[in-house]
Amino acid sequence: MRKRSGVLLLAALLSASLLAGCGGSQSTGGTGGAGGSSQAQSSKPAQKTELIFATGGTGGTYYPLGGGMAKVWADNIPGLNVTVQSTGASVANIRALGKKEADLALIQNDTADYGRSGKEAFAEKNEKYTNYLAVAALYPEVVQIVVPADSPVKTIEDLRGKRVVVGAAGSGTELNARQIFGTYGLDYKDRKDLEPLYLSFAEGAAAMKDKQADALVIVSGVPTASLADLETATNIRLLPVDAEKVKQVYPFFVKYTVKAGTYKGMTQDTDVVALKATLVVRDELPEDLVYQMTKVLFEKAGDIGHAKAKEFDVKQAADGVTIPFHPGAAKYLKEKGVDVK
């Protein structure tokens, strides 16, 4: 495992170079965005700091987005180098943080909750990791319950007795489907209130296209390319989900409105729920460093070069976050008027 001397020395470095405080009114670009007065600027080169950033698979969203984030940090925070790692995404990332094999990670906010509480994917091996803290919720990953536009199914309750694609067995999508259906009194594990089809997004869309499924649950951005082929065969719409009802049981869900016209067949806005892709860091990272990283993340989001970065909204940075925030991130978010609990 790599040595962590850069991280351990950073607090002393920042105490010297950021004596006048992080950020302030100065830009985070150019000479590094550390802010502070001229008296606080050191004539010595910045101590190099190496961090490992756990993301996701190379074909997904987290890995390329993480690459853009790492570059923006390196361009704006002197001495900071962030190495992006391809991983198995949220659960694997939490384990990497827990074992100190990564310093920061992109994870889904519900998984962040499970990792600290030892539930769901972490329950089987009695795992519990509490050494990571939130930086910010970044963008929504929307739970979409898809039906043909001409389907008689109008509500979640109408799915009783229907064939529903709930995601691959053991996947995050399948868990989210089970959670949402459960809040509406539908159980497909024990009571078989509906017929679950354990298929991937692509397989599920194909099943609907071939009329082998009545509904499909998908968790993704909006709109999603996974439904493009299905749309060529039939108009589709989404079933509404009562966010307040779901949040009473699972507080990491947030309300999201999918606009009319998003998919062929959607004639009106539809309220659903979403999870949030969230940036977390190990709790050992210095407050000043995390403050600067949070500041750069939002104020230089336009330089990240990924479509998802356009969805970063500091005003929504605490939405759906149920784990504690890192003090450095909390400081910046509070400066921006965000209610950080």
Question: Is it true that domain 141-275 has CATH number 3.50.50.60?
Answer: no
Tell me the per-residue pLDDT of 104-130, one tens digit each, with 9 for 90 and over: 999 999 999 999 999 999 998 999 999
Residue 14, pLDDT > 60, answer no
**With 90 as the cut, is the pLDDT of residue 91 above it?**
yes
Distance between CA 210 and CA 307 in Å, rounded?
Answer: 32
293 vs 17, higher pLDDT:
293
* pLDDT tens track for 169-212: 888 899 999 999 999 999 999 999 999 999 998 899 999 999 99
Q: Are strands 104-108 and 270-282 parallel, antiparallel or unpaired?
A: antiparallel
Q: What is the Cα–Cα distance from 216 to 241, expressed in whole angstroms?
A: 14
Note the pLDDT of residue 60. 87
The predicted model gives 67-91 an average pLDDT of 97
Mean pLDDT over residues 288-301, rounded? 99
Classify strands 49-54 and 254-258 as parallel, antiparallel or unpaired.
unpaired
Task: Label residue 45 by pLDDT band (50, 70, 90).
Answer: low
Rounded mean pLDDT, 54-73: 95
Q: How many helices (H) and strands (E) does the chain have?
A: 10, 10
Please tell me the distance from the alpha carbon of residue 331 to that of residue 329, in angstroms, as a whole number: 5
pLDDT of residue 262: 94
How confident is residue 9, by pLDDT bands cut at 50, 70 and 90? very low
6, 77 Cβ separation under 8 angstroms: no
Q: How confident is the model at residue 46 (pLDDT cuts 50, 70, 90)?
A: low
Strand partners, 275: 141
Give the start-to-end residue ranges of the domains of the chain: 5-139+277-335, 141-275
Position 37 scores a pLDDT of: 35
Checking if the pLDDT of 278 tops 90, the result is: yes
Burial 254-269 (b: 16+ CB within 10 A, else e): bbbebeeebbebbeee
Q: How confident is the model at residue 131 (pLDDT cuts 50, 70, 90)?
A: very high
pLDDT recorded at residue 57? 92
pLDDT at residue 170 in the model = 82
Residue 30 has pLDDT above 70, yes or no: no
Three-state DSSP at 220 gives strand
> Which residues touch 123 (CB under 8 Å, ≥6 apart)?
none
Q: What is the mean pLDDT of the chain?
A: 88
Q: How many CB atoms lie within 10 A of CB 302?
A: 10
CATH number for 5-139+277-335: choose from 3.40.50.2000, 3.20.20.70, 3.40.50.300, 3.40.190.10: 3.40.190.10
319: which residues sit within 8 A by CB, 6+ positions away? Answer: 137, 254, 276
Instruction: Check whether 28 has a pLDDT greater than 90.
Output: no
Contact 278, 138 (CB under 8 A): yes
pLDDT at 59: 84
Cβ burial, residue 168 (10 Å; 0-12/13-18/19+): middle
Are residues 112 and 81 in contact, defined by beta-carbon separation less than 8 angstroms? Answer: no
Ranges 37-41, 52-56, 168-172: which has the least confidence: 37-41
Contact 132, 115 (CB under 8 A): yes
d(CA 169, CA 321): 26
Q: For residue 323, is pLDDT > 70?
A: yes
Cα–chain-centroid distance for residue 281?
13
What whole-number distance in Å separates Cα of residue 11 and Cα of residue 157? 54
Would you tell me how many other CB atoms lie within 10 Å of the CB of residue 336?
Answer: 14
The DSSP line for 29-96 is STTTS----GGG--SSPPPPEEEEEE---TTSSHHHHHHHHHHHHHHHSTTEEEEEE--S-HHHHHHH
CA distance 23 to 40: 12
Q: What's the pLDDT band for 315 if we cut at 50, 70, 90?
A: very high
8 pLDDT more than 80? no
